[in-house]
């Protein structure tokens, strides 16, 4: 068990206690313990000393015993007792956006809802609306949540796929040179299953290593050239072993997308050739290419096509004209323009964020803590923001060759005004404006609100413009074209938020924004130093939208970045 898995068990116990209507203090103690374990610096095992656990905040004698039992066995008597009385399907109901344990408890006890299906029936019959403290609006929201859940069913976030793929690859013998293909390699925002390819090497048995991994829950198929397993969390992983002379053709084939492959094969056919996952063959069935992808594309008269573009969106024609764009790359990015510190809801200090970003090779960051309207995130008012600016200026005196820009993620208020006074905004280097409330507003209202913010002379960037959370909340009704137009006119950048659940702008929106002449920034929105690694997901999303470095402002040195925003007459 990893700490994360132990924490998940504690959270699940908290959920089940709350469903049962247990008192809030008891419920809270499990939730707090889950949080503590999730953040704990050392790995907890069944052999960890209970004194060591009891030094952690909120963990006493009985919790430490329970945690050690979970670490050793994966479960504990309390959890088993609860699972015996609470239907498994009711725990699925908790995954419906807008349904917490308290609601699930009421649905269970009063309407005998036991799974998502019976919840949907109860909504359709109107019974949910009739519950105390519910009403028609909540019922509608639950139905929408169920639909959203079903649309994303069976797919995982890019970051989750990355974690699984890295763990699998780590356990395969290195001489077989494992690589990930499929939608993961294309950088799609969600991934169905994970496709791994390995080179056939005499005397090496990667299949045994693969099917024997500790995280394997089920072996679907164990063959010499292909195996399929389901790992913890229900995710399918496929491994294929490929003879070296076919490796490029296989990588091309299994990277997809299927539509891209069809287009490429059509081209091969028109040239009298045949392309398969084994290679490119001429009319006499002699292999003329296949060892590398570049060789395969080259033999078809095409430039090598970056995986992110392989969606049959015009890339094959452009590759034939040798006119593919030079896409932005991770190492082009010099700065990160959205992150949070302990001043609002971040886990680390400004200095820690700066040092972590510098260690990742960046030249500058902007600290963009929340503003006061976001009370839940401990947002800053004008006084605290001014003090934070002082702290940042002092820190910059000490840092050589690295710049911390003073920024703020300012709330856009309901009428489009900003949550921080203009004279304080004028002191900042970077103003990022975002909407976090009223996301269900009609198109006209949300569009007017965001356009007005973009028109504000101090606003440099509109953050996570569509407001969607993958698998949890649809995008707002914003008229994106109207916002992009304003951003172009006012030298305001649109953010590509790299948070794996946001990826907002999404790939299609990036392409649209660039077609209309807009500029982008790719930011992590990190709330801890570790999340600075998310940048890669934002870069992939931008690449999927055909973004070139000249249109991504944070590929510029800090002076160039400032110059762009000043052209609007605003900051800095
Ligand atoms: P996913 O797993 O749903 O996120 O998406 P992919 O793109 O990884 O799709 P997957 O895992 O079904 O197959 C991996 C790649 O293999 C796919 O992108 C293209 C190729 N492929 C699979 N089945 C077919 C097929 O029937 N025809 C063609 N042309 N290619 C296929
Ligand atoms: Ca796949
Ligand atoms: Ca697959
Ligand atoms: Zn935000």
Sheet arrangement for strand 279-281: 274-276, 279-281, 287-289
Cβ partners under 8 Å of residue 116, min gap 6: 89, 92, 93, 96, 146, 149
Q: How far apart are the first and last CA of the chain?
A: 49
Per-10-residue mean pLDDT, the chain, length 572: 91 95 93 89 90 92 95 95 93 88 94 95 95 92 86 87 97 97 98 97 96 94 93 91 97 97 97 96 96 98 98 98 98 98 94 97 98 90 98 96 97 97 96 96 97 97 97 94 97 97 98 98 97 98 98 97 77 54
327 CA from centroid of ligand 1 (Å)? 24
Distance between Cα 258 and ligand 1 center (Å): 5
Q: Whose CA is nearest to atom 17 of ligand 1?
A: 256
Under 8 Å between Cβ of 113 and 93: yes
Pairing label, strands 493-497, 461-462:
parallel
Strand partners, 18: none
- Cβ pair 459, 492 in contact under 8 A: yes
Q: Where are the beta strands (DSSP E) in 381-429?
A: 403-411
Ligand in closest contact with the CA of 240: 3
Q: For residue 398, what are its two tokens?
A: 């000490």
| pLDDT in the model for residue 568 | 57
What is the rounded CA–CA span in Å between residue 161 and residue 155?
9
**What are the beta bridge partners of residue 367?**
406
Checking phi first, is residue 421 left (phi over 0); if not, alpha (psi -120 to 50) or beta? beta
Yes or no: say if 510 and 464 are a contact pair by the CB < 8 Å rule: no
How far apart CA 130 and CA 111 sit, in angstroms, is 10
Q: How far is CA 214 from CA 209, 217, 219, 222, 428, in A?
A: 10, 8, 12, 16, 50
- Reading the block at residue 478, the tokens are 């914003």
Residues surrounding ion ligand 3 at CB below 5 Å: 193, 195, 238
Count of CB atoms situated within 10 Å of the CB of 283: 8
Q: How far is the CA of 466 from the centre of ligand 1 (A)?
A: 29
Kindly list the protein residues whose Cβ atom lies closer than 6 A to any atom of ligand 1.
182-183, 188, 191-193, 195, 253-254, 256-258, 261-262
Position 572 scores a pLDDT of 53
**Domains delineated in the chain:** 3-151 (1.10.150.20), 156-242 (3.30.460.10), 247-320 (3.30.210.10), 330-565 (3.20.20.140)
What pLDDT does residue 114 have? 95
Q: Other C-beta atoms within 10 Å of 237: how many?
A: 24
Angle at 326 between CA 321 and CA 329, to 5 degrees: 150
Phi and psi at 450, nearest 5°, equal -80, -35
Residue 218 β-bridge partners: 230
What is the distance between the alpha carbons of residues 105 and 84, in angstroms, rounded to a whole number? 15
Q: Which helix (H) or strand (E) holds 230?
A: strand 226-231
Q: For residue 446, give the DSSP letter.
A: H
Q: What angle do CA 234, 535, 165 make, to 5 degrees?
A: 30
HEC letters along 205-227: CHHHHHHCCCCEEEEEEECCCEE
**Range 413-419, long-range pairs (CB < 8 A, 24+ positions):** 413/373, 413/449, 414/438, 414/449, 415/449, 415/452, 416/448, 416/449, 416/450, 416/451, 416/452, 416/453, 417/452, 418/371, 418/453, 418/456, 418/458, 418/459, 419/371, 419/372, 419/373, 419/379
Q: Which of 423, 425, 393 is nearest to 408 (CA)?
A: 425
Query: Is 240 within 8 Å of 213 (Cβ atoms)?
Result: no
d(CA 496, CA 538): 6
pLDDT at position 570 is 54
Cβ contacts of 467 within 8 Å, gap of 6 or more: 435, 439, 473, 475, 476, 478, 504
Of all protein residues, the one whose alpha carbon is nearest to atom 19 of ligand 1 is 256
Residue 259 alpha carbon to ligand 1 centre in Å: 9
Q: How far is the CA of 53 from the centre of ligand 3 (A)?
A: 42
pLDDT the model gives residue 203:
93
Q: Report residue 485 as tokens.
A: 């137009």
CA gap 512, 466 in Å, rounded: 13
Whole-angstrom distance, CA of residue 393 vs CA of residue 354: 13
Length of the chain: 572
Residue whose Cα lies nearest atom 25 of ligand 1: it is 258
Looking at the CA of residue 195, tell me the nearest atom of ligand 1: 11
Asked if 238 contacts 216 with a C-beta cutoff of 8 angstroms, the reply is no
Q: Give the pLDDT of residue 138.
A: 92
How close is the Cα of 225 to the center of ligand 1, in Å?
A: 17
């Amino acid at each position: 068990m990893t700490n994360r898995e132990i924490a998940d068990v504690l959270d699940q116990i908290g959920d089940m206690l709350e469903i049962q209507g247990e008192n809030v203090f008891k419920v809270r103690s499990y939730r707090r313990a889950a949080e503590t374990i999730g953040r704990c610096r050392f790995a907890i095992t069944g052999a960890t000393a209970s004194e060591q656990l009891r030094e952690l905040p909120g963990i006493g004698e009985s919790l430490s015993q329970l945690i050690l039992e979970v670490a050793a066995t994966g479960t504990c008597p309390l959890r088993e007792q609860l699972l015996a009385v609470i239907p498994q399907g009711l725990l699925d109901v908790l995954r419906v956006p807008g349904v917490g344990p308290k609601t699930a408890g009421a649905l269970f006890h009063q309407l005998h809802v036991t799974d998502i299906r019976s919840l949907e029936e109860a909504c359709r019959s109107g019974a949910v609306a009739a519950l105390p403290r519910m009403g028609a609006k909540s019922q509608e929201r639950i139905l929408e949540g169920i639909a959203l859940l079903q649309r994303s069913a069976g797919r995982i976030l890019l970051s989750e796929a990355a974690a699984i793929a890295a763990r699998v690859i780590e356990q395969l013998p290195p001489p077989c040179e494992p690589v990930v293909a499929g939608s993961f390699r294309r950088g799609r925002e969600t991934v169905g299953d994970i496709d791994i390819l390995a080179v056939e090497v005499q005397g090496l048995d990667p299949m045994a290593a693969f099917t024997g991994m500790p995280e394997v829950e089920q072996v679907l198929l164990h063959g010499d050239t292909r195996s399929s397993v389901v790992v913890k969390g229900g995710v399918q992983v496929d491994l294929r072993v490929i003879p070296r002379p076919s490796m490029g053709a296989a990588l091309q084939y299994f990277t997809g997308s299927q539509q891209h492959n069809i287009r490429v094969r059509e081209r091969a056919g028109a040239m009298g050739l045949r392309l398969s996952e084994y290679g490119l063959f001429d009319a006499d069935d002699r292999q003329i290419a296949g060892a590398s992808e570049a060789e395969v594309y080259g033999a078809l008269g095409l430039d090598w096509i970056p995986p992110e573009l392989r969606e049959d969106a015009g890339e094959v024609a452009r590759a034939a004209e040798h006119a593919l764009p030079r896409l932005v790359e991770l190492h082009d990015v010099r700065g990160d323009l959205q992150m949070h510190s302990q001043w609002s809801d971040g886990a680390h200090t400004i200095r820690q964020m700066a040092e972590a970003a510098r260690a990742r090779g960046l030249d500058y960051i902007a600290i963009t803590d929340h503003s006061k309207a976001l009370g839940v995130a401990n947002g800053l008012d004008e006084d605290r923001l001014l003090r934070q600016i002082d702290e940042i200026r002092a820190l910059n005196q000490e840092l050589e060759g690295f710049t911390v820009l003073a920024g703020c993620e300012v709330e856009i208020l309901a009428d489009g005004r900003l949550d921080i006074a203009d004279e304080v905004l004028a002191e900042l280097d970077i103003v990022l404006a975002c909407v976090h409330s009223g996301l269900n507003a009609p198109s006209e209202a949300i569009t007017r609100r965001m356009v007005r913010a973009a028109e504000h002379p101090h606003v440099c960037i509109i953050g996570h413009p569509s407001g969607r959370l993958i698998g949890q909340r649809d995008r707002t009704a914003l008229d994106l074209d109207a916002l992009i137009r304003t951003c172009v006119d006012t030298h305001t950048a649109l953010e590509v938020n790299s948070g794996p659940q946001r990826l907002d702008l999404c790939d299609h929106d990036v392409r649209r924004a660039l077609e209309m002449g807009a500029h982008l920034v790719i930011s992590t929105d990190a709330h801890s130093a570790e999340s600075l690694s998310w940048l890669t997901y934002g870069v992939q999303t931008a690449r999927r939208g055909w973004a070139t470095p000249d249109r991504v402002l944070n590929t510029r040195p800090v002076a160039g970045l400032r110059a762009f925003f000043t052209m609007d007459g605003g900051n800095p």
